[in-house]
Amino acid sequence: MYVCGVTPYDSGHMGHAFTFAIFDVLVRFLEANGTRVKYVQNITDVDDPLFERARRDDIDWRELADRETKVHVRDMTVLGWRPPDVMPRVSEEIPRIVTAAAKLKASRHAYQADALYFDTHSYRGFGRLSHRSRRSMIRKLREEELLGTVGPDAKRDPLDFALWRTSRPNEPAWPSKFGDGKPGWHIECSVMAMRYLGPQIDIHGGGRDLIFSHHESERAQSESLTGKAPFARAWVHTGMVRFNGRKMSKSLGNLVKVSQALQRAPAAAVRLYLVSHRYQRDWDFEWTGLARAARLVERMRKFLADDARLKTPKRAPRRALMSEFNAALADDLDTPRAVRALRAALRQKDAAAVRAMNEVLLGSASLT
Ligand SMILES: [Zn+2]
């Protein structure tokens, strides 16, 4: 499983935490049922927004990336994740990215203009992952200011995207046969996913805002590189978290940081609140919702503490409770239904079931 990780330039907010908590439930559910999972989550430490932030704050981009990567790992550790097996950083994968770009050029999937571009006409089915028309793809690129220019010295088609570009002044540049420069965003993930997981992967995840253009482009260039399809057998995308009615984002300044939530509630409550939402839907973060989750966690903590103190004889979890819990998660990871099963286990005072469900839903997040 490959999940697109953070661009480390602003410490983790609830939108990030939602995505990674959901994929953590998925890993834990698969592993609890005997499937071995190799989990790769990258750190996008070579990215324009990161460089811009470093310039604005007059700080070395590597220092900024290191600091914010630590914040991300710390937040997710507190929220009880099973750490990814590999967390590759783009900055350490550059020679492989250059090799992949050269291979795409040699096989005529890429051409050189003012940058090295992927030729989207060389790949059949560009747009099929996101189910977007050509017009809608162009509109999205324009909205995200990723459209660039089309022309004799630039890209041939508005949908083509850069594999390798010249760096701007004050940006890092790496040597390559296409000139000193930096990789495009999409090729980074193709290369890291294939290095650690092979040419075809089972699950590729990320936030829904990545479907186009990131994953659409990643899929096209990966399949063009290997000649194997599908690149990913399942694409899993998480919804957006809103706050005060709008998508949480740095540009709108309406972020709720994980650290802020942890000041008001135990880690297990923050995590329970996150996973009480269906992964593919957008939802609104509300402090009252977090408080409700905290009350459930407190009931659970008391019940488990009493159970440990009274030394009740150990029993296997009730089968009906566990099978409802597993059926919920097997049904396209229906975590809200799994949380209802957890409530039922608590009502029926089945400590073993509560513990087993906690392990999957809340991981190692602390109840206090
Ligand atoms: Zn990615």
The domain made up of 2-242 has a fold known as Rossmann fold (3.40.50)
Q: How far is the CA of 91 from the centre of ligand 1 (A)?
A: 14
Q: How far is the CA of 47 from the centre of ligand 1 (A)?
A: 11
This prediction has a pTM of: 0.96
Per-chain mean pLDDT for the chain: 96
- 278-318 pLDDT, tens digit each: 999 999 999 999 999 999 999 999 999 999 999 888 889 99
- 223-235 pLDDT, tens digit each: 999 999 999 999 9
Name, in order, each residue with C-beta under 8 angstroms of 194's C-beta and a sequence gap of 6 or more.
222, 225, 226
Task: Note the pLDDT of residue 249.
Answer: 79
What's the CA gap between 61 and 41, in Å, rounded?
20
What's the CA gap between 158 and 18, in Å, rounded?
33
Q: How far is the CA of 58 from the centre of ligand 1 (A)?
A: 27
Listed in order, the ranges of the chain carrying CATH 3.40.50.620 are: 2-242
User: Residue 245: which H helix or E strand, with range?
Assistant: none
What's the CA gap between 322 and 301, in Å, rounded?
20
| Owner of token pair 């007059």 | 58
- The pair of structure tokens assigned to 223 is 């399949």
What's the CA gap between 25 and 357, in Å, rounded?
10
Task: Note the pLDDT of residue 11.
Answer: 74
DSSP annotation string for 262-289: HHHS-HHHHHHHHHTS-TTS-EE--HHH
Q: How far is the CA of 237 from the centre of ligand 1 (A)?
A: 12
Q: How far is the CA of 176 from the centre of ligand 1 (A)?
A: 22
Task: Note the pLDDT of residue 335.
Answer: 98
Q: How far is the CA of 157 from the centre of ligand 1 (A)?
A: 23
Q: How far is the CA of 153 from the centre of ligand 1 (A)?
A: 28
Q: How far is the CA of 185 from the centre of ligand 1 (A)?
A: 8
- Per the CB < 8 A criterion, the answer to whether 5 and 87 are in contact is yes
Q: How far is the CA of 125 from the centre of ligand 1 (A)?
A: 20
Q: How far is the CA of 3 from the centre of ligand 1 (A)?
A: 7
Q: How far is the CA of 193 from the centre of ligand 1 (A)?
A: 9
What's the CA gap between 342 and 280, in Å, rounded?
21
Q: Confidence band (pLDDT; 50, 70, 90) for 32? A: very high
